[in-house]
Amino acid sequence: MLNAEAIRKDFPILDRHVYGKPLVYFDNTATSQTPRCVVDDITRMYYTQKANVHRGVHCLSQEATLSMENTRRRVREFINASHDEEIIFTRGTTEAINLVASSYGQLLQAGDEIILTVMEHHSNIVPWQLLQQRSGIVIKVVPIDSDGALDMDTFRSLFSERTRLVSVCHISNVLGTVNPVAEICDYAHSHGALVCVDGAQAVPHLKVDVQAIGADFYAFSSHKMYGPTGIGILYGRKELLEAMPPYQGGGEMIGHVSFSGTTWADLPYKFEAGTPDFVDASAFKTAMDYMDNIGIEAIAAHEEDLLEYATEAMNKVPGMRIFGTAPGKSAIVSFLIGNAHHYDTGVLLDRMGFAVRTGHHCAQPLMETLGIEGTVRASFAMYNTREEVDAFVAALHKVAAMLS
């Protein structure tokens, strides 16, 4: 079993107090905290190994390049991609999805169709809408059932001879629903369509194997995996990336430049224009190592225990309304207390020391489907404890009494 109390010692921020109360950090879906070893690695590189990568013959540049490329190799292993060059560094999941929409999108024509779901984060909606404005593609949307699971019958009915791509979240950042992405990939491929998976909420919480899933593209972020901010990953199948035009132009992504014409660098550098955040990219490897040392299965089991424990106790709070009850959901609880506004609930909880998220969570179409403006969201990580859940539920009872 995972020892959360021992793990907490690696995260100094968890010793903080806010408004004189011990901090309870339940906003892990937005961003996880960072262990000391990752911060130490960032500091070490800035102090001893800061030099631009890929372009220098001197020792520091070579060391920094090796460090960054070791992270690329580590990511490939972490998600079981086939080739290092299938791993593209981005600034985050948002940029990774925008890369696919902007680059692969250039291969689409007016009338081609893309299937999304109503539970998508805005980062997996707006890039496709921008493509729709530029190219005239058609966007279709899969609804959900009353538990927050995808309506797979409708999903299958949306396919036509013009369907080119499905873009879907692996796990909903609001509902915690774990989507059947392997089934989605199988069905899409049987109709000649590709699949892009937003894995931002999945990679920190369960074992992801992009080959077993069958994903054509898979995007995720370091900062939700106990790593640095500003680093993300796009996995893409090699033959697809090779056929796609560059996303941005500049240094690093070129083969040869002249005013009569320019050629592109080989993968993965074709999609990595400019000086990368090589320090944080290198430290991302330390975060993945940290997760592997604890064990993703142990992390998942611990978070599942917290979810079940919290859900049972929260349902006893007067007026409690939990959104997202699909079987096998991830450790996310979105809720409202009666008709109280989510912001009021969040402010009161903050004053009691609880860091939760309030609002539409960048999922306004989903909120419209649910018939609400927003929710309060509590989300768990490996350093959270049952004792924190007990304190949280006690606070919810106080809030319910204050807002009734």
pLDDT in tens, 225-241: 999 999 999 999 999 99
Q: How large is the average pLDDT for residues 17-36?
A: 98
Say if 76 falls within a structural domain. Answer: yes
Q: Does 287 share its domain with 308?
A: no
Reply yes or no on whether the pLDDT at 201 is more than 90: yes
Active site residue 362: yes
* Domain shared by 195 and 337, yes or no: no
User: Can you give the pLDDT at residue 56?
Assistant: 75
Residues 287, 323 within the same domain: no
CATH number for the domain including 303?
Answer: 3.90.1150.10
Q: Are 18 and 68 part of one and the same domain?
A: no
Co-location of 160 and 103 in the same domain: yes
Q: Residue 354's closest CA among 10, 25, 17, 34?
A: 25
Would you place residue 94 in the very low, low, confident or very high pLDDT band (cuts 50, 70, 90)? very high
pLDDT at 1 over 90: no
As a whole number, mean pLDDT of residues 390-396 equals 98
Supply the pLDDT for residue 244. Answer: 96
In this structure, what token pair is assigned to residue 257?
């430049």
Contacts of 122 (CB under 8 A, 6+ apart): 362, 363, 364
pLDDT score recorded for residue 57: 87
Residue 32 lies in a domain: no
pLDDT of residue 276: 87
pLDDT averaged over the chain? Answer: 96
Q: What is the pLDDT of residue 265?
A: 86
Are residues 90 and 233 both part of a single domain?
yes
154 and 283 in a single domain? The answer is yes
User: Which of 264, 292, 320 is the endpoint of a domain?
Assistant: 292
| Token pair in block for residue 393 | 């539920």
Q: Is residue 269 part of a domain?
A: yes
- Domains contained in the chain, number: 2
Of 227, 259, 292, the last residue of a domain is: 292
Say what the pLDDT of residue 263 is. Answer: 87
Instruction: Please spell the DSSP secondary structure of 265-301, one letter per residue.
Output: PPTTGGG--S---HHHHHHHHHHHHHHHHH-HHHHHH
Q: Is the same domain home to 133 and 184?
A: yes
Residue length, the chain?
Answer: 404
Question: Which pairs with CB-CB distance under 8 Å and at least 24 residues apart come from 385-391?
Answer: 385/4, 385/5, 385/8, 385/306, 386/305, 386/306, 386/309, 388/24, 388/26, 389/306, 389/309, 389/310, 389/313, 390/313, 391/24, 391/354
Q: Is pLDDT of 371 > 90?
A: yes
Over 90: is that where the pLDDT of 98 sits? Answer: yes
Choose, from 37, 59, 185, 362, the residue flagged as catalytic.
Answer: 362
Q: Based on the domain organization, do 181 and 241 belong to the same domain?
A: yes
Task: Convert the pLDDT of each residue in 310-368 to its tens digit.
Answer: 999 999 999 999 999 999 999 999 999 999 999 999 999 999 999 999 999 999 999 99
| 21 vs 249, higher pLDDT | 21
List pLDDT tens digits, range 134-173: 999 999 999 999 999 999 999 999 999 999 999 999 999 9
pLDDT over threshold 90, residue 54: no
